[in-house]
Structure 1
Amino acid sequence: MSKTWLVTGAARGIGAAVVRAALAAGDRVVATGRDPAGISRAFEAQSERLLPLRLDVSEPHEAQDVVDAALEHFGGIDVLVNNAGYAQLGVFEEMEPAAVSAQFSTNVFGLMNVTRAVLPQMRRQRAGHIFNLSSIAGIRGGQGGTLYSASKFAVEGFSESLALEVAPFGISVTLIEPGYFRTDFLDASSARFATRTIPDYADQSARLRAAFEAQNRKQPGDPEKLGCLVAFLASQDKPPLRFAAGSDAINAISAKAESLSSGLAAWQALSLSTDWRQP
């Protein structure tokens, strides 16, 4: 049976790859972004099954308007892919407060806005699948990624908890945790860097920016393959809560698991000493 998808950040990168995979599977897609005309041009061959709509996820009313339009046009939403987001890069102390707010407004609150708008319809139909795009940065922190990592850690905690709340209604939640994928994620059109300059961080900031720029368009992950995998996971009766995408994601998450395990063992006796004990 064909499905109806709602994909945010659908104009390029992983979002566009998911749209292509869903359309190739014969499904209908509500593809959203800040430039719906660009989405229409990119996918005009499947225009009958594609509804391109403008959406700034940080605006709650726009999220609700998009969901209402999707329901009117296609009659339902079976799969939500919360893909919209960007990376605010640089050392934390050089970040302006406005940059902190903007990062969370899109990556966290924006994801919540769209999810909140979609859930009532999924509850009514007692079925649905929500994909939240996280990152290996949502599993382990990295130098120069304090804000981005913090936002993805928030997505991880939100998604894990939400999955428990919506499971009784037949709704699944899957966290996609990509490593580095060859998109425009690190392009000037997407990534943003700190604007303040603190002399103590000058060398560190310069090295970090050069490293990020050197990785641009050389990442090991293939977004088209990831798009197809998301479409495959959407077809599963028992999809995973977490899906690590890419060899670098597997390596990073495995290392984090080992670090947590060894740290827990090293301090276990002292940790257990904090339990309340009756005198």
Structure 2
Amino acid sequence: MKPTIFITGASSGIGQATALYFAAKEWNVVATMRQPEKQNVLKNSDQILVLPLDVEKPDTFAEIIDTAIAKFGKIDVLFNNAGYGQHGLFEATTAEQIQRQFSINLFGTMEITRALLPHFRKQKSGNIITVTSGVGRVTVPLVSVYAASKFALEGFLESLSFELGAQNIKVKIIEPGSINTNFEQTTKANFASDESLTDYKDYLQKMDEVFKGIYSGATASVDDVAATIFKAATDETDTLRYIIGTDLQPLIDIRNGGTDENYMNTLKGIFG
């Protein structure tokens, strides 16, 4: 029986690229997304099952998982990819925007993971792979709420890895740096701003130029991420974190290997 991966947020970007990559490797793929009717790349076939799933609606998960298992017999890997980035000034970010950020990035991931655990325990194996972000380890300005959700995910998954290890279920974290996706455009559309906060005007203009340079210098593609996810699914190791992109590793090395003062001074040199 072919192995099966269950993907959330498969409509575009990393999720869609991962679905195509695993299908090319002869895996069965359950590609879930909020609006499958808008999907024009992934199609239902003997190997790919496209299903509607909104991670903010956990009461629908059991039926969707049962449908996937009925199609392919089992699920071997859960790939938590659904999420979005709430960027902008914290002072301009509303309580509703903060709640939605955590509802999707953290609570949605927790609930779909919880929903699949009984299946993994029953078959005495499974692999939970989750995309966090470089800003789940190294923060930058104007992403305080997004970074908070990713830091929370990192803590949740690291702790979870110990208790699920006792059940022969692996936990893997994917940490992309700057990636060539439509993420920049998406976050700009969600950018929290307030024209009355004029004190930040000069800083926002400066950061706009800094981030243009970061995005234009992206060192990895969605296909690179998909290949790393496949490695995490198949390498049979207990490796917890997989870092993607040459821009991220040096900053993590500074954080892990030096003093907090040196780490903060390095980032202030870029964003101060």
Q: Please give the TM-score of this superposition, normalised by the length of structure 2.
A: 0.89
Offset at residue 195 of structure 1 (A): 3.5
Range with greater deviation from structure 2 (74-83 or 192-201): 192-201
> What is the CA RMSD across the aligned residues, in angstroms?
2.2
Q: Deviations over 1:83-142 (max 9, x none)?
A: 111111112111111110011011101111110111110011110000011111000211
Counterpart for residue 36 of structure 1: 36
1:27-176 equivalent positions in 2, closer than 5 A:
27-39=27-39, 41-44=40-43, 47-176=45-174
Distance verdict in 2 for CA 1:117–1:217, change over 3 Å: farther
The one-letter amino acid paired with 1:52 is V
The one-letter amino acid paired with 1:56 is D
Distance verdict in 2 for CA 1:2–1:261, change over 3 Å: farther
Counterpart for residue 238 of structure 1: 237
The one-letter amino acid paired with 2:224 is K
Contact 2:42–2:50 at 8 Å: present in 1 too? no
Offset at residue 215 of structure 1 (A): 4.9
Offset at residue 63 of structure 1 (A): 2.8
Matches of 2:188 and 2:115 in 1, distance apart?
Answer: 26
Matches of 2:215 and 2:152 in 1, distance apart?
Answer: 25
Percent identity, aligned pairs only, is 35
Q: Deviations over 1:149-208 (max 9, x none)?
A: 101000100000111111111100000011011011111478520033312222223433
Offset at residue 29 of structure 1 (A): 0.7
Q: How many residues align?
A: 262
1:197-236 equivalent positions in 2, closer than 5 A:
197=195, 198-212=197-211, 215-216=214-215, 219-236=218-235
Q: Which runs of 5+ in 1 are unaligned?
A: 264-279
Q: What's the secondary structure of 1:81's corresponding residue?
A: strand
Point out the structure with max Rg over C-alpha.
1
Range with greater deviation from structure 2 (247-256 or 164-173): 247-256
The one-letter amino acid paired with 1:221 is A
Q: Deviations over 1:47-94 (max 9, x none)?
A: 211111111111111333321221222221100110111111112111
Q: Please give the TM-score of this superposition, normalised by the length of structure 1.
A: 0.87
Q: What's the secondary structure of 2:178's corresponding residue?
A: coil
The one-letter amino acid paired with 1:157 is G
